[in-house]
Amino acid sequence: MDICFEQASLSYQDHVALQPLSLRLCEARIGVIGLNGSGKSSFARLIKGLVRPSSGRVLLDGLDTVKDAKAVLPLTGFIFQNPANQIILPIIREDVAMSPKSQGLKGSALKEAVEGALAGLGIAHLADRRPHELSGGQLQLAALAAVLVTRPKLVIFDEPTNQLDLKNRARVQAAIDGLQEQAIVISHDLELVASFQRVLVFHQGNLAFDGAAGEAIARYREIARS
């Protein structure tokens, strides 16, 4: 997917969350790092269309996230920092089926789509479990299955390894690495983004660095020390 920011900014009353930004993104794996409150989440929410830019515009494959919101919405999936908040139904299988069912999929086609999404992430055995029975990593994968079943072109992750133990962190990283879809990952987990093709560093609402992962991580460390 081609993601284009054209002098896009975001402000909340007197607070500028993101200064005017112009850039184009098309890499398969893009990391977004920075201190808390640096503008990372604002950047991601603008791409998803969860908020409107205060100035400028954001385009996904040439579609404006505001003017073409209905067409843009299905292009992007979003995994929130706490995936339990986006798993609505009491059984994982039912939750994964919710979106395709609302789009008219039913019968064997619906069953095949749901089972394929779960099996593709190695969690078919969790289909009949309840969210509160799952570990943090399993919840991340269940939320991801519910997103992937809708066939987005881009998946945005907000702190996907936050508070996960090493085993579950490895599961989530493997799932991200194995995606066919484009992925943007917001993270304080520098190891997670170290192999990405492009990493953005935000600081105080500005894009402080945009480039190779190693250089980006070094720049972030400089900012964190200052």
Could you identify the residue written with the tokens 């579609």?
63
Angstrom distance (rounded) from CA 147 to CA 96: 8
- Mean pLDDT confidence for 129-144: 92
Angstrom distance (rounded) from CA 223 to CA 203: 8
Q: Which of 143, 154, 157 is nearest to 81 (CA)?
A: 157
Instruction: Give the per-residue pLDDT at 82.
Output: 87
Instruction: Give the per-residue pLDDT at 93.
Output: 95
The SS3 call for residue 167 is helix
Angstrom distance (rounded) from CA 202 to CA 5: 15
Pairing of strands 3-12, 15-25: antiparallel
pLDDT in tens, 150-174: 999 999 999 999 888 898 899 899 9
Phi, psi (degrees; rounded to nearest 5) at 142? -65, -45
Beta bridge partners of 3: 25, 60
Q: Domains in the chain, please, with CATH?
A: 3-225 (3.40.50.300)
Whether the predicted pLDDT of 85 surpasses 90: no
- DSSP letter assigned to residue 15: E
Instruction: Give the per-residue pLDDT at 103.
Output: 86
The C-alpha angle with vertex 210 and arms to 204 and 213, in degrees rounded to 5, equals 110
Phi, psi (degrees; rounded to nearest 5) at 145? -60, -40
Q: What is the dihedral of CA 132, 135, 137, 143, to 10 degrees?
A: -10
- Mean pLDDT confidence for 103-121: 92
pLDDT in tens, 21-63: 999 999 999 999 999 999 999 999 999 999 999 999 999 999 9
Whether the predicted pLDDT of 197 surpasses 90: yes
Quick one: what percent of the chain has pLDDT higher than 70?
A: 100
Kind and range of the H or E element at 20? Answer: strand 15-25
- Mean pLDDT confidence for 106-112: 92
- pLDDT band for 81, please (50, 70, 90 cuts): confident
Q: Is the pTM of this model over 0.95?
A: no
Instruction: Give the per-residue pLDDT at 19.
Output: 97
- Mean pLDDT confidence for 195-203: 97
Angstrom distance (rounded) from CA 110 to CA 96: 10
